[in-house]
Chain A
Amino acid sequence: MTGALLFATVPPQNIMHTAWFASLSMFVAINTVLYLTLAIIKLLPKAYLSDWIDQRNRRSESRSIYPDAEAGPPQ
């Protein structure tokens, strides 16, 4: 809506110098970098803290349907 209003009232070559356009550029820039950060995070393998420091990461009893089975790590 604001964009349409601007086009109707401001010469096209001057739109890039308006405060509205500057705000839009900044808004898009922040969102872009924010989503890029999320993309890079998702691109990398997920790190699980428990893989390194949680020594309880082993079941204390078997979860098998067979009562005599040995306990193992979570699957």
Chain B
Amino acid sequence: MNVVSRSATRLAASDPGTPGSDHTDLCTASIPARDAAVGREASAGSYAGRHYVRATRYRHASGWLGRYIGLVIAGIAVGGALVLWFAVSASSPSVNPSPKSRALFGGWHVIYDNQAPALTIVIVAVGLGLIFAATAALVERVVMDRSRRSTDVAVKLLAPKLVMAETRGVFGGPVTVTVLIPAHNEAASIGATLDSLGAQHPAPNRVIVVADNCTDATEPVARAHGAEVFSTVGNTHKKAGALNQALSGLLDGLGDNDIVMCMDADTVLDDGFLAAGVQRFTTDRALMAIGGLFYGEEGGGILGQLQRNEYVRYSREIRRRRGRVFVLTGTASMFRARALRTIAASRGRLLPGVHGDVYDTAALTEDNELTLAIKSLGGLMASPNACRVVTELMPTWRNLWAQRLRWQRGALENLGAYGPAPTMLRYWAQQLGIGYSVIALSSFWLLVIVTALTTDQWVWFPFWLGVGSLFVLDRVVSAWSGGWKARLLAVLMVPELLYDLYLDVVYVKGIFDITFARNARWGHVAHAAQPTHETNGAQQRETAEVIS
């Protein structure tokens, strides 16, 4: 049995935002840029403390679910499983093994059992699957149509109708692109990132590296590649805080057709990314954001391939949805300046976070949170197939654990902050789906283990062989575009099932941590210092380590 497309669903439901490194580390410094600008005097420690308390208070006040979101999701999933279990038990099922033997290919004796579930059971299970899929699609469609047609000037501030009305007949100039690259000690990879930007046609109008508490050569390397450098001052809020500082001085000067692109310092854009983005923003002035589709870099052995397969399936799912976004990835996403300004103005009122901040600094996964913010305000988003980026993969299981724990917990916390609003139903469904799939996969492995321990001969079940073959087909087809290595891994099936099991454990740990208010930590893949301005991926991977 396979819990189908679990990886893609899990990825979509959590936060594929920053597959590569996440920059971190607390620092001590002087006055934050924004406060300095208004002449406020504040010591670093007191500002950071107050700011964090404010951010957390707003977040918890806006999300009554708070730390119980994990329990709510787990409770519903377990409740659903129990209902099914009791319904099954009430029907007094029985197992009557009736193995038969047959000789195949001359001397090979095969023991098989023609047991199969009753037809009514199969029909009920298929029916449930169809109902779940149809309900999810219908709810998403209705919610999206409501947002598209909304004229609610109090809440849906980014709804297409309102944006269209405000910009009708007005030409705000051609689309321009300003790229912000938050970087914390990324001297090893920033060069390749800037090179990929320079190779884009059209090239971005401005490229600003947001150097956040860097102690390596990030700044000189960035300047050597022609980028502007903005150094954060007193930032203690990692990537979100760094971007907030840079955006606070930038957004006011941008017009309706000016685009801000935020991308990671270890991400390389595919050819045509910016051209496709600019074209979409030109032809649709109601479009508020574009999220990149990412795929993993080469290498990394079987762990790398498992992650690449996951990303391939995620991209396939987005293509199947005609570019409708799950998450605006932090690896590379483009935003209309209006969207970011509106979000900053809505925080503390319509949205979680501190008024004036674009990114919610209390969110563990700031890009997932920004997606929910735009969705809440009715904004249109897309992930065109041409907007693709290659990103770094986690080199070790330990790195992967840290990354996914942060994604999973961040996604749950964001969901708790936004609550069960109609626009969030799809995300609730995804989390519930993951929660239930943890139970389903665990019960499958339990059955396999119990059966293996209680039988002394290998018995083939033709019905389940057929079912398993269909799952293999699904795995292979959904990973097909990843190449022969991806297909080979998919056809083996068991490695991917075990990978899913690993992610299930992370999921349960995430729920545990959020419920018992364990401190969240950021995983960081440190890159080796680079003697030249060229990226050496192999060297990076060899020296990568968790320093969270």
Contacts and interface: CB of A to CB of B under 8 A. Distances in A.
A39 B85 contact: no
Nearest to A74: B284
A27 interface: yes
B129 interface: yes
A33 B283 contact: no
A21 B132 CA distance: 27
A66 interface: yes
Contact of B443 (A7, A17, A27): A27
Contacts of B174: 65
B403 interface: no
Nearest to B323: A75
A9 interface: no
A38 interface: yes
A3 B122 contact: no
A3 B446 CA distance: 8
Contacts of B164: 61, 63
Contacts of A27: 81, 84-85, 88, 443
A58 B396 CA distance: 49
A64 B282 contact: yes
Contact of A75 (B89, B280, B285, B453): B280
B233 to A, nearest CB: 35
Interface in A23-57: 23-43, 45-46, 48
B477 A30 contact: no
B519 interface: no
A35 B443 contact: no
A43 B467 CA distance: 15
A38 B160 CA distance: 32
Given A23-B88, A33-B117, A42-B317, A28 B286 contact: no
B133 interface: yes
Nearest to A31: B440
Nearest to A13: B454
B103 interface: no
Contacts of A34: 125-126, 128-129, 132
Contacts of B440: 28, 31, 35
Contact of B321 (A21, A31, A46, A72): A46
B285 A64 contact: yes
B6 to A, nearest CB: 9
Contacts of B285: 63-65
A28 B449 CA distance: 13
Contacts of B437: 35
Given A19-B89, A23-B89, A64-B283, A36 B470 contact: yes
A33 B454 contact: no
B477 A43 contact: yes
Interface string B155-194: 0000010001001111110110000000000000000000
Given A35-B2, A45-B320, A67-B170, A24 B443 contact: yes
B94 interface: yes
B399 interface: no
B95 A72 contact: no
B121 A15 contact: no
A32 B171 contact: no
B5 A38 contact: yes
Contacts of A43: 473-474, 477-478
Interface string B70-97: 0000000000010011001101111101
Contacts of A72: 283
23 contacts: A7-B453, A12-B454, A19-B93, A23-B85, A23-B88, A27-B81, A27-B85, A27-B88, A28-B440, A28-B447, A32-B1, A34-B125, A36-B129, A36-B470, A36-B471, A38-B132, A39-B471, A40-B470, A42-B478, A43-B474, A61-B168, A63-B164, A63-B283
Closest 10 CB pairs of A and B: A37-B129, A39-B4, A33-B125, A32-B1, A39-B474, A31-B440, A22-B93, A26-B93, A26-B88, A12-B454
Interface of A: 3, 7, 12-13, 15-17, 19, 21-43, 45-46, 48, 61, 63-67, 69, 72, 75
